Structure 1
Amino acid sequence: MKKLSPVFVVSVIITILFILWGLIPADVLPVGNLDHVTKIVQGVILEKFGWFYLLSASAFLIFAIALIFSRYGNIRLGRDSDRPEYNYLTWFAMLFSAGMGIGLVFWGVAEPMFHYYAPPFAEGQTPEAARAAMRYSFFHWGLHPWAIYTVIGLALAYFQFRKGQPGVISTLLRPILGDRVDGPIGVAVDCIAVFATVFGVATSLGLGAIQISGGLSYTFPGIPNNFNTQLVVIAVATVLFMLSAQTGLNKGIKFLSNINIVLAILLMLFLLFVGPSNFIMDLFTTTLGSYLQNLPSMSFRLSPFDQEITWFQDWTIFYWAWWIAWAPFVGTFIARISKGRTIREFVVGVLLVPTIFGALWFSVFGGTGIYLEFFEHKGLMDVIKTNGSEMALFSLLENFPFSSVLSLLAIFLISTFFITSADSATFVLAMQTTNGNLNPPNRIKLVWGIIQSASAAILLWTGGLEALQRASIIAALPFTIVMLLIMVSLAKAFKEEKVVLVKIKEE
């Protein structure tokens, strides 16, 4: 049995301590429990460092777009003779499923509805509020988050497959820190990445369990929407994703990712054609233009002269921190499946394809929700306020033919996204804690799978799921600094590719 890496040992200990902290009641500790402390720290971060998140996310996007048109675009992520392991459809399906599939299903209806009723700088329930709702939904799930994933994924793939470095976050800083990444600094960087990944994914698993439970209760009234049902969901899903994880990347994750993308497209196309089709496509076209037109101003917009407006802290800054917290997980996974692609191919694929699909998704689901609310006054928002955001999708589907079948399909889709996200996360966590092993041992994957599921279950039970989410976002602040350094490190490494660039030109 190989010696466990320091990153694995430290990460497991920190994770378990935080989970135990989350179980302690607020009045036992003098400093307060996890929920109390993370609430205070997150409030300070969002209030004091909102500008930093906005500038950083925009810097990642500018850097990614610049690479598309740069002379480095022809460099392969691997040897010059390497070619991609997966075809385009499988590649897109895998990166999309790991990136934000379960989030789109959860927020596809709910987020535009929230913005429609409470938009920034506009009166709610008006045409202008509806336009702002869709524009900001595109914004929060569009180019910026995928640019964050692009930077970290590209750096990992480049250094691992072209430079022969271990596929861990700390090695990406070698061009600027040298051999210091092999010591405590490197362990600290890798532990921050693992910390953000574990708690970010555990929170998503909790949200997925809540939505599956809510959907089952909505479709089958005899099933209660409570913790016991959520626990059963987590238990069943854990068995399934651990079985999938044992089969490796080319079987379980690949197979489930293809199922995910097919089911998602079928559900979206059905709703597009049975719903208000012209309205949806008009909304998609108009909002896409408005999003691109307003992208520069939205990217840097805050409310310095109106301190009472907390919308940007509650939504945009929260999202940017959330995507950065997810970046180690998604970036590592995208890097692993992208060997052999050119930098230009990688950036265009990761940046544009999911953004366009996400925009269409929000137009179909969020646009339909706004249509039913604006024109037909169906009261979807009342359902969301009464029963929670997890009911938004199912209350929407109830307004169309075959609603029971559609709801079952949606539950199955959420379940496969749930399994794929957890499966991918166990793979990534095992990689990050075994010095970048491309085929990590099953026992390490098993440990991280159990920790993830236990975290989600325990914190759902204690009501501390939001505390876990806040802990992940708090970890995003130091990791944002790491990502900025990675961007500098990557730019420095590219300057050493001159000989390769000449060779490619001659060929």
Structure 2
Amino acid sequence: MANDVRPVTDPTDGSGPEPVPGVTPPSAPPALVAPTDPTSEPLTSAEAAEQRYPTDKVVFGVAAALVVALLAWGLTSATTLSEVAGSVLKGIITGAGWGFVLVASGFVVFALWLAFSRYGRIPLGRDDEGPEFRTVSWVAMMFSAGMGIGLMFYGVGEPLAHFTSPPPNTVSAGTPQAIDVALATTLFHWTLHPWAIYAVVGLAIAYGAFRRGRRQLISATLTPLLGRERVEGGFGRAIDILAIFATLFGSAASLGLGALQIGGGLIAGGYMTSVGTPLLVIIIAVLTAAFVASAVSGVSKGIQWLSNTNMVLAVVLALVVFVGGPTIMILNLLPTMIGDYFSDLTEMASRTAASGGDATATWLSGWTIFYWAWWISWTPFVGMFIARISRGRTIREFVAGVILIPSTVTLVWFAIFGGAAISAQDNGTNLAERPIEGQLFGLLDTLPLGAVLGIIAMTLVAIFFVSGADAASIVMGTLSQRGTIHPSKRVVIFWGVMMGAIAALMLVVGGSDALSGIQNITIIMAAPFAVVMVAMCLALFKELRQDPLVRRGVRCETAIEQAVDFGTKEYGDEFRLSVKPHKDAGDVTSVTAPSGSDQRT
């Protein structure tokens, strides 16, 4: 791996600016690149796209063998697998539920701090690079890969669930106060926290790949902490295998939700009277074939086209519900939701089983902890995908785009669909009695052309999943082939098929409560990756402190402060700063405080 990179040259070449009179210079200027990490100069987008690495037989072989073994276990003894998953899940919720709650809020603080700190101006690439994708396409691809299918599944279901059954020890169900709690809780699960989780992983990968010249691997982000030798050895491979597992199960959970909702749409539209597991498996097979075909076409073709198409359809559906639904109520909800969210944020972020007993523990496992685990399980592929499309943007622009823009869109989405659903429930349409996968279609049936809207909604669910799952297949291929941006089609197809098989297994293991089975396995697979994410944040912070742009800024500030201190000491307020070429390096300047000056600083 050491031969595929080019060394960085230090622009200061060891010589500093001309000394300021009367000031003792440091004995040796600090290096602009961390000396313990011999990284390379980042490749251009075209150069990176041309890089091809062979399949890592250890990563691919071990990951594939474990997945096949799990599938065999599920097919031969689904009951045993379900019992084991339930026991492991109980242990995680009891012993580590607090960890999910704590790290999720920690990621929010860390991401926002990076954006507003001096590190925010660091570009994710060379200093002279511009963004690779237009902002509109960038946001569309990011949103589709991030949580589009989840918004379709829970856009009506979650606000309605919290309205009719609020979190324990909060408010009474069905009251005006329940509306506030329901929408604030929904925003808590879908805005700042999940997108901050994505942002920290995407930042670590993008910075390492586009700024430091590393490969786009989860393990590579830990180089500043572990050193290059360990990262390229067995420990680094274990991390990449873990990332493949998290990606596989997180994406399979989405596929399972998508299949459940399409099944709900078929029932709501009168096409079917009931949808059993065999039909859901057929739906999964069709979706799997579609996203595999899209994945082999690459990011700039299939994924970008699907994402842009989906954004248009989603806007159309939202506008129809907004205009045809309780428009004034929805408009009133927007500022109310923001206020309730921030006023209740501390309470929601600190809610654990210790504060509410068994009822709160059960509620957390079905909602908050499941969400944090779901988002964490998605971070390898969403983080890598967002990193892949974010080259050339600054850290500040990246964080603002990844956190604030999707959070704003999510706010509007839940105000429209959640507000319309709660209004319909209050007006006598009992949506809550429907299964959660059918509640969106129940709401659409209350509007003109409800059948047509239902078809649009099912199309959106399918395309949202295809646009996200093909990104996941490409990312798993990248992890399997040592960071190749365009992995081989055979590897991509293999992981796509495995994703569909795992989704089907989740539905089988879940039995009559398929959603519960999906949630349980997702939480189990996400738990160990949360530890890796904490280490990624530490490694990123350590390396940002040594970034050439930051070191250069520190040295400039130091030189100016020294010059001002000397000038003030020698001439009082009557001096000026001047800049002149260094005598040995024409592009390096020095700052002096000449005597006899009549200008103030």
CA distance in 2, matches of 1:487, 1:306: 31
For residues 63-114 of structure 1, the C-alpha deviation after alignment (integer angstroms, 9 at most, x for no partner) is 1111111111111111112211111111111111011000110011011111
Alignment check: 8 A CA contact 2:255 2:500 kept = yes
Are the structure 2 counterparts of residues 468 and 223 from structure 1 closer, same or farther at C-alpha, using a change threshold of 3 Å? closer
Determine if contact 1:168/1:436 at 8 Å carries over to the other structure: yes
Partners of 2:509 and 2:545 in 1: how far apart? Answer: 51
Question: After the TM superposition, which residues 350-369 of structure 1 pair with which residues of structure 2 at under 5 Å, given as runs?
Answer: 350-369=402-421
1:4 Cα deviation (Å)?
4.0
Number of residue-to-residue matches in the alignment? 497
Matched AA of 1:118: S
Aligned mates of 1:425, 1:499 — CA distance in 2: 33
| Distance in structure 1 (CA, Å) of the matches to 2:272 and 2:199 | 45
1:186-225 aligned within 5 A: 186-222=236-272, 224-225=274-275
Q: 1:309 aligns with which of 346, 359, 362?
A: 359
| Residue number in structure 1 paired with 2:173 | 124
Distance in 2 of aligned mates of 1:373 and 1:439: 48
Helix, strand or coil: the match of 1:72? helix
Equivalent residue in structure 1 for 2:443, among 386, 393, 396? 396
Pick from 384, 387, 395: which aligns with 1:335?
Answer: 387
Find the aligned partners of 1:3 and 1:152 in 2 and give their Cα distance: 23
**Residues 119-158 of structure 1: pairs in structure 2 closer than 5 A:** 119-120=166-167, 121-158=170-207
Provide the TM-score with structure 1 as the length reference.
0.94
Deviations 1:453-475 (A, max 9, x none): 12223443454654454233222
Tell me the C-alpha RMSD between the 2 structures: 2.0
Secondary structure class of the residue paired with 1:76: coil
Q: Which amino acid aligns with 1:152?
A: V
Distance (Å, rounded) in 1 between the aligned partners of 2:495 and 2:173:
44
1:455 corresponds to: 502
Gaps of 5+ in 2: 1-52, 558-586, 588-601
Could you give the per-residue CA deviations for residues 422-445 of structure 1, whole angstroms, max 9, x where no partner exists? 211111111111111111111110
Which string of whole-angstrom CA distances, capped at 9 and with x for unpartnered residues, describes residues 1-28 of structure 1?
94543111111111111112222336xx
Alpha-carbon distance change, 431 to 283 in structure 1, aligned in 2, over 3 angstroms: same
The residue matched to 1:109 in structure 2 has which SS? helix
Alignment partner, residue 476 of structure 1: 526
- Partners of 1:23 and 1:459 within 8 A in 2: no
Query: Residue 200 of structure 2 contacts residue 537 of structure 2 at CA under 8 Å; is this kept in 1?
Result: yes
TM-score between both structures, scaled by the size of structure 2: 0.79
Higher RCO (C-alpha under 8 Å, 6+ residues apart): 1
For residue 71 of structure 2, what is the aligned residue in structure 1?
Answer: 19
> Within 1, Cα distance between the matches of 2:206 and 2:431?
44
Cα offset, 1:157, TM superposition: 0.4
Residues of 1 paired with 2:207 and 2:108: CA distance? 18
Q: CA–CA distance in 1 between the matches of 2:289 and 2:209?
A: 31
In the aligned structure 1, how far is the partner of 2:118 from the partner of 2:194? 24
How far has the Cα of 1:187 moved from its partner? Answer: 1.3
Partners of 1:3 and 1:499 in 2: CA distance: 35
Q: What code does the residue aligned with 1:409 have?
A: I
SS at match of 1:33: helix
Structure 1 counterpart of 2:370, from 312, 318, 323: 318
Could you list the runs of 4 or more consecutive aligned residues of structure 1 that deviate by over 6 angstroms after TM superposition?
503-507
Higher helix share: 1
C-alpha separation in 2, matches of 1:499 and 1:199: 39
Shift of 1:222: 4.7
Kindly provide the amino acid, as one letter, of the partner of residue 88 in structure 1: T
Q: 1:378 aligns to what?
A: 429
Deviation at 1:395, TM superposition (A): 0.5
Tell me if the contact between 1:108 and 1:362 (Cα under 8 Å) persists in the aligned partners.
Answer: yes
CA separation of 1:54/1:343 partners in 2, compared to 1, >3 Å: closer, same or farther?
Answer: same
Whole-angstrom distance in 2 between the partners of 1:87 and 1:268: 24
Give the aligned partner of residue 105 of structure 1. Answer: 152
Unaligned stretches of 5+ residues in structure 1: 27-31
CA change 1:48–1:213 in 2 (3 A) is same
- In structure 2, the CA distance between the partners of 1:459 and 1:214, relative to structure 1 (3 Å rule), is same
Pairwise CA distance, 1:229 = 3.1
